Structure 1
């Protein structure tokens, strides 16, 4: 018996009032009910659905949500496909915590590559899930507001460069393409979405990798160095990515979105 959105909406309406609204997407009914009960007990508002189709309906009918808990192995569209679609659409800023029954490194990395903010392998303790949920929500609140000036653009222009957001590569002023790794593109996109805003290393790590990647803040420095090389940006006198001592980095160029 499948659990549909409407009765879950009525159940969510009885939960304690909270600014944190969680959507659970998992085809296992027992897990949905257990997680819903536990999160509600801890003061969160919760809706739970079994498939990607129900997820889309819940997003339209019951949103906005502050976080989506998304199972990897779903009937029909799997969690990775849904995560990718969410990141490509109007819900791209909504944090995603991915769940999976397979504790494999490749799955974890792929989930983070698709844009998940954190990753938790089954079986897990409910207390650990709650801690992860709170940590992701806390990191999200730390982030400066997204200017959203780049949303929907297929090309972004700054300085002597353009970014093809479909192919995910750079194009210099001579028309030469410069390839970017997935991590380099994600970092660049974060900077382009938050131009002239100081971002701490912790914020950059949260936006590009997620804490589940178990990387140190120093890895952001290395990634910034690689991205500067791609942009031919002199680290001693950078034109685009400037270091703000004791705070982080700022993308100093203006960004123009092109449809």
Structure 2
């Protein structure tokens, strides 16, 4: 067993998942993989299961009964990883918007440079996004700036979903009390790590929008992120939110 595991939530990622798995396992640094699949009707889970004999004790799958949200998928994956005492736990998308080669850079930031949490950041050095329309780039950039102002976090890409956590960060954050299930989940995890004074670093990466499969972005997800941040910050002022 590797000391690092990459948690990948999936829903209808049949066009991407095999190539992603093979890409990660071809890296010079050893990573295990946990796919958390929400009962994809396109056969994503079956594709993963068919590969498990090829990568014994390295490729794992957690199958859930239905589509329950990005945040709950990651929390289920994090708990699975903690139960198996992985030292480094990663989160990344299944659609190649995150370059698997950057896993090593995120790992090195925590394992060699001593950070508790490393973030693959689109905005720490300019705007590094490929294949997004300008309207979406502007919306994402403004959302991260808005969150940075409201929360006081010194993080440029607050909604980033490409992250490495040291085991102790996930142990200290009460995963049962994470409130958000959409992209606001990414903000909440960073905010709770920030409140606990963990050392966080942003690693510049290039984000490339998916070329296969369909985006899961929706208006409800955006609303949760915008309005949820205010609620989250407000609660942190009047109760021991960071220790929930």
Taking structure 1 as the reference length, the TM-score comes to 0.32
Structure number with greater Rg is: 1
Taking structure 2 as the reference length, the TM-score comes to 0.34
